[in-house]
């Protein structure tokens, strides 16, 4: 006993946790009882000093809190309860008592009768206004616990409890407390009989609407306005009893409030109306609509407008829920607004019509009967307008409104039957759209309409489909159509062909194919050209499913054959090449889609498309080396087609192909590859690698087709020559690219193959990398006897090998790159050497996973992290200015290709360097630098300290790069202007202000740039300033 007293004494003196825990231990150890504690507190509890009394009770509550719930006997609970209740009327002890009660009421042995007493005590003694936030919170938590644990007995208190609670809850402001109050509220509203207190409950809940509180930055309870709104909404929508009053309040907020308040009110309506019930809803429907109409027809913003439409929907649903009547049975509200809207829609071309139709569409997804009513009224309304000769001018508007309805119906769930569903008006609607097709003005809408009908489940019959296709065919080749219209056209045909492909194959496709000429239109007939282009665009979008694609391949291959043979002895081959190019591009575009969607039918096009293509090109190239078969653009797109197919082939197929190909390209046996119908003549000598200047140089362009296949080979697939000669072969390849290749196409094709092979077959290539490559470096790159161009080409060849290594994370990539630094003082090629660093790190389509390349995660980033610091350092400190600049070039080339995260932290050091980079006489570097700067300047924060610091010099140099008289490259001008354009949003105004006049004046000269893209940027930038 005296131990307890000691503990209490020390605690009262020190208020330390220890004594509390000790006491708790004593109790749980059974050495003392709570009652002892109470007794022990005796002297304090009766002390005249308020502080003493309050400390006494606090101690008890603290102990209570710490003790395990079961350690309290029924009796103990009872004693404590009476004890605390007794202390509630003492202003000194009320606070700790509440704390105590918070724990007490949760105890298992706390009975319902206790609950009643506590409640009573609270109501009689607790004056919330007299208390601070925390004790108020305690009071609410107590009530919360009581309500959730002892609901029934509290109900028995009836009026007394409700009034009591209302007093407590009245006037609360603290969000955390409200959070609790609201949840209690909801329970009472739902479970208690509040019929006699509706008004008062209305007052203590609706007075908080709309919630406007914003949480303080350091809100410990992290209550968001949203959560609070949710809670409150829970109360507002708790009982139909609120109906009349609630709606009136919402209306008031809706008419008076700010946009935010408006949206809150609308949201509340959507939640509450269904609860308030159809009776109330109907009674207030007029008043409500008067407000909603305003929000819909003169919207402050889209969000509010949509919300208002939603509210209208809910309102109608609530009123008509469960009513299932015939069309003309629909009375009252829905009828009224439908008629109102249709009245407005008598002028379909006016702006108000937009809102009216939205309302109509909203009504369509309410209740079946309303929806039926609206359909039965609206659709005929538009059909009538459409047929009215005076309205011809407005047909587009009419049609597009009708489309809106069809689309709304397509979305809306219920499919009804009989009078007043779309089906019953199908023919008329279809009729409108089909006629709408004929006029250009309404065509796009009509196409949309037909599409939504086709896409509506079980609406359109096969017969009708073919009718639609038939009518579409009549306009399909109309040149005056713009992109949007053809787009709508394709979308329609696409959804038709998903509905049933044969309608398209049988109907639309033949027409399109026939529209494709056999002869290429001459260069002076642009109409013809844009016509075949349009047809091909349509085809490309249509022929994606296997059956359709096969037809496409067959038809287009046939065209290609004709074109190529025509080209052999044509005067002007370019138009033919261009046409062929469009054909091939169509194929590659479709294949791209098919690959993305993993269609399974692609492999079969090895024999149907790829091999024939090789035949076609090789054969025609032999016939006429300067013909279209060696045209670079043509080869590039043909290469795309080939690679799409080869990519998906299995290993064995790939091996067959590549063996055949290498044989073919070595001028050897050609049969393996020429399984196609057009056999190469036996005597044909196709030796593209043996380039001798006087005769047929450009045959070597066809190497790009070989590369197209090789790049797609799987890792396990080898390419001849195999064995040791392979390494030699690779070096020869490099040398070939330097000495023999005549153009970038040839060079790149070769180097891409090398890079890809090096990456995939590194195991077989040890000698090449470790011996031959260094050799090559010495002979061709280091060797300053050679002309610079040769050395530059050699550098390019070399860096592709390194790229191949880098991607797969081979350590030699870095060690090889080291070599580049030796060249930094060699003015003949030091800039090329420097920018090679960036080129090595740069991502490339040649070396991607999709091409079965071996890649190592973060390999490139490791590489950059190695080099960046070094480049930065030397770009600043290097003694020799030539070398220093080279480092700067290297730096910017590298920064351009890596993610800003890798160097962001270095920006302070980098900024001055970058600025220097902007004066280097190399446009590519400048674009690179500016892009880097753009990447590292956050346009949404005004405190980019670094940028602010350099603002004036940045502006000066950017302006210089933006003006055509100082900078020839449009690309640089565009980037520079872009940068100037983001400055105002990235730097505080007061910093920029001194520059403003200058910038505006200088930019005005950019407004007169010869290139439009530049002008567009200038306009933007200038207006931003």
Positions that interact with another protein (CB under 8 A)? 299, 347, 349-352, 354, 396-397, 400, 441, 444-445, 482-484, 523, 526, 529-530, 533, 574-575, 578, 581-582, 585, 633, 923, 968-971, 974, 997-998, 1001, 1004-1005, 1007-1008, 1010-1013, 1015-1017, 1019-1020, 1022-1024
- Closest contact distance (angstroms) between CB of 945 and another protein is 26
- Closest contact distance (angstroms) between CB of 123 and another protein is 55
Q: For residue 605, give every residue at least 6 positions away whose Cβ sits within 8 Å of its Cβ, in sequence order, or none.
A: 553, 591, 645
- Closest contact distance (angstroms) between CB of 354 and another protein is 7
**CB nearer to another protein: pick between 184 and 584:** 584
Instruction: Classify burial at 782, counting beta carbons within 10 Å of its beta carbon; exposed 0-12, middle 13-18, buried 19 or more.
Output: middle
- Closest contact distance (angstroms) between CB of 196 and another protein is 49
**CB nearer to another protein: pick between 334 and 529:** 529
**CB nearer to another protein: pick between 575 and 688:** 575
CA distance 911 to 205: 58
Orientation of helix 788-807 relative to helix 830-841, angle to 10°: 20
Residue 722 in tokens: 């195999």
- Closest contact distance (angstroms) between CB of 917 and another protein is 18
**CB nearer to another protein: pick between 230 and 306:** 306
**CB nearer to another protein: pick between 173 and 523:** 523
CA distance 390 to 756: 69
**CB nearer to another protein: pick between 280 and 995:** 995
Tell me if 776 sits within 8 A of 786, measured CB to CB.
no
DSSP letter for 692, please. B
**CB nearer to another protein: pick between 445 and 643:** 445
**CB nearer to another protein: pick between 585 and 793:** 585
Residue 202 in tokens: 């209305």
- Closest contact distance (angstroms) between CB of 1004 and another protein is 6
- Closest contact distance (angstroms) between CB of 1007 and another protein is 5
**CB nearer to another protein: pick between 312 and 400:** 400
CA distance 676 to 613: 9
**CB nearer to another protein: pick between 395 and 594:** 395
| DSSP code string of 732-762 | HHHHIIIII--SHHHHHHHHHHHHHHHHH-G
**CB nearer to another protein: pick between 210 and 299:** 299
**CB nearer to another protein: pick between 677 and 993:** 993
295: left (phi over 0), alpha (psi -120 to 50) or beta: alpha
- Picking from 783, 758, 907, 922, the residue whose alpha carbon sits closest to that of residue 846 is 758
Burial of 182-210, coded b for 16+ CB within 10 Å and e otherwise, reads: bbbbbbbbeebebeebbebbbebbbebbb
- Closest contact distance (angstroms) between CB of 353 and another protein is 8
Tell me if 98 sits within 8 A of 138, measured CB to CB.
yes
Coil, strand, or helix at residue 598?
Answer: coil
- Closest contact distance (angstroms) between CB of 980 and another protein is 14
- Picking from 555, 531, 560, the residue whose alpha carbon sits closest to that of residue 543 is 555
- Picking from 437, 398, 395, 310, the residue whose alpha carbon sits closest to that of residue 361 is 310
Q: Tell me how crowded residue 905 is: count the other CB atoms within 10 A of its CB.
A: 9
CA distance 1015 to 1006: 6
| DSSP code string of 956-1015 | HHHHHHH-TTT---HHHHHHHHHHHHHHHHHB-HHHHHHHHHHHHHHHHHHTT-SSHHHH
- Closest contact distance (angstroms) between CB of 810 and another protein is 30
- Closest contact distance (angstroms) between CB of 451 and another protein is 17
**CB nearer to another protein: pick between 815 and 1023:** 1023
Q: Tell me how crowded residue 515 is: count the other CB atoms within 10 A of its CB.
A: 16
CA distance 306 to 359: 10
Tell me if 856 sits within 8 A of 808, measured CB to CB.
yes
- Closest contact distance (angstroms) between CB of 391 and another protein is 13
- Closest contact distance (angstroms) between CB of 486 and another protein is 11
């Amino acid at each position: 006993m005296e131990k307890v007293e000691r503990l209490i004494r020390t605690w009262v003196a020190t208020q330390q946790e220890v004594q509390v825990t000790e006491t708790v231990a004593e109790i749980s150890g059974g050495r003392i009882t709570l009652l002892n504690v109470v007794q022990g507190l005796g002297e304090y509890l009766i002390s005249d000093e308020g502080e003493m009394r309050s400390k006494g009770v606090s101690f008890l509550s603290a102990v209570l809190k710490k003790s395990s719930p079961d350690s309290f006997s029924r009796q103990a609970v009872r004693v404590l309860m009476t004890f605390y209740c007794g202390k509630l009327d003492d202003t000194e002890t009320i606070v700790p008592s509440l704390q105590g009660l918070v724990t007490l009421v949760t105890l298992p042995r706390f009975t319902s009768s206790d609950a009643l007493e506590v409640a009573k005590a609270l109501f009689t003694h607790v004056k919330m206004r007299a208390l601070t936030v925390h004790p108020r919170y305690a009071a609410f938590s107590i009530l919360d616990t009581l309500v959730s644990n002892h609901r029934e007995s509290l109900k028995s208190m009836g009026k007394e409890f409700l009034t009591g609670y209302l007093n407590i809850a009245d006037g609360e402001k603290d969000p955390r407390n409200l959070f609790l109050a609201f949840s209690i509220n909801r329970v009472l509203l739902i479970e208690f009989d509040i019929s006699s207190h509706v008004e008062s409950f209305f007052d203590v809940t609706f007075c908080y609407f709309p919630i406007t509180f914003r949480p303080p930055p350091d809100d410990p309870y992290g209550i968001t306005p949203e959560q609070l709104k949710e809670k409150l909404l829970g109360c507002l929508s708790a009982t139909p009893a609120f109906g009349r009053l609630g709606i009136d309040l919402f209306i008031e907020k809706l008419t008076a409030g700010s946009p935010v308040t408006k949206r809150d009110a609308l949201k509340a309506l959507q939640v509450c109306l269904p609860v308030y019930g159809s009776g109330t809803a109907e009674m207030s429907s007029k008043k409500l609509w008067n407000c909603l109409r305003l929000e819909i027809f003169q919207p402050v913003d889209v969000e509010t407008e949509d919300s208002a439409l939603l509210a209208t929907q809910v309102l109608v649903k609530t009123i008509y829920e469960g009513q299932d009547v015939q069309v003309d049975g629909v009375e009252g509200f829905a009828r009224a607004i439908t008629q109102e809207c249709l009245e407005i829609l008598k002028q379909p071309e006016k702006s108000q019509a937009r809102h009216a139709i939205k309302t109509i569409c909203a009504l369509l997804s309410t209740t079946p009967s309303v929806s039926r009513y609206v359909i039965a009224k609206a659709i005929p309304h538009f059909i009538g307008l459409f047929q009215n000769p005076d309205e011809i001018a407005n047909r587009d508007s009419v049609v597009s409104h009708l489309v809106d309805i069809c689309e709304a119906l397509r979305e809306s769930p219920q499919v009804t039957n009989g009078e007043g569903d779309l089906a019953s008006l199908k023919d008329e609607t279809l009729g409108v759209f089909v006629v709408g097709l004929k006029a250009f003005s309404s065509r796009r809408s009509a196409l949309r309409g037909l599409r939504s009908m086709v896409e509506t489940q079980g609406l359109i019959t096969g017969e009708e489909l073919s009718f639609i296709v038939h009518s579409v065919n009549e306009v399909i080749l109309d040149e005056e159509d713009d992109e949007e219209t053809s787009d709508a056209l394709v979308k329609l045909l696409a959804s038709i062909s998903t509905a049933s492909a044969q309608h398209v194959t049988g109907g639309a496709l033949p027409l399109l194919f026939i529209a494709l000429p056999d002869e290429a239109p001459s260069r002076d007939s642009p109409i013809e050209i844009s016509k075949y282009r349009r047809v091909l665009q349509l085809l490309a979008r249509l022929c994606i499913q296997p059956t359709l694609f096969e037809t496409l391949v067959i038809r287009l291959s046939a065209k290609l054959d004709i074109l190529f043979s025509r080209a052999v002895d044509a005067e002007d081959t370019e138009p033919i090449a261009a046409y062929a190019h469009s054909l091939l591009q169509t194929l590659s575009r479709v294949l791209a889609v098919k690959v993305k969607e993993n269609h399974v039918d692609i492999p079969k096009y090895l024999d149907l498309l790829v091999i024939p293509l090789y035949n076609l090109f090789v054969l025609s190239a032999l016939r006429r080396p300067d013909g279209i078969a060696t045209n670079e653009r043509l080869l590039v797109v043909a290469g795309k087609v080939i690679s799409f197919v080869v990519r998906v082939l299995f290993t064995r197929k790939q091996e067959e192909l590549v063996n055949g190909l290498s044989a073919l390209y070595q001028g050897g046996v050609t049969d393996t590859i020429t399984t196609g119908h057009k056999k190469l003549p036996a005597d044909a000598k196709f030796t593209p690698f043996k380039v001798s200047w006087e005769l047929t140089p450009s045959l070597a362009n066809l190497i790009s087709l070989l590369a197209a296949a090789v790049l797609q080979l799987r890792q396990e697939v080898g390419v001849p020559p195999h064995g040791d000669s392979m390494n030699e072969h690779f070096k020869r390849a490099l040398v070939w690219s330097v000495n023999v290749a005549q153009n970038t196409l040839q060079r790149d094709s070769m180097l891409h193959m090398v890079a890809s092979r090096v990456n995939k077959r590194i195991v077989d290539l040890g000698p090449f990398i470790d011996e031959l490559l260094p050799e090559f470096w010495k002979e061709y790159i280091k060797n300053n006897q050679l002309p610079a161009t040769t050395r530059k080409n050699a550098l390019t060849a070399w860096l592709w090998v390194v790229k191949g290594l880098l991607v797969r994370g081979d350590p030699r990539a870095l060690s090889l790159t080291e070599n580049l630094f030796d060249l930094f003082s060699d003015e003949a090629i030091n800039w090329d050497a420097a920018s090679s660093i960036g080129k090595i790190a740069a991502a490339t389509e040649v070396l991607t996973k999709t091409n079965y390349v071996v890649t190592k995660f973060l390999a490139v980033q490791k590489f950059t992290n190695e080099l960046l610091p070094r480049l930065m350092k030397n770009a600043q400190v290097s003694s020799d200015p030539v070398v220093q600049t080279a480092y700067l070039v290297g730096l910017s080339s590298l920064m351009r290709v890596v993610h800003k995260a890798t160097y962001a932290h270095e920006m302070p050091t980098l900024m001055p360097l970058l600025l220097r980079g902007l004066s280097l006489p190399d446009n590519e570097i400048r674009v690179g630098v500016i892009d880097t700067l753009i990447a590292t300047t956050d346009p949404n924060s005004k405190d980019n300290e670094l940028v602010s610091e350099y603002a004036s010099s940045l502006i000066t140099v950017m302006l210089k790069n933006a003006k055509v008289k100082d900078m020839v490259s449009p690309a640089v001008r565009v980037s520079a202007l872009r940068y100037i354009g983001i400055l105002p949003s990235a730097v505080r105004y007061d910093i920029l202000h001194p520059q403003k006049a200058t910038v505006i004046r200088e930019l005005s000269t950019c407004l007169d740039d010869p290139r439009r893209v530049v002008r567009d940027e200038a306009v933007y930038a200038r207006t931003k300033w």
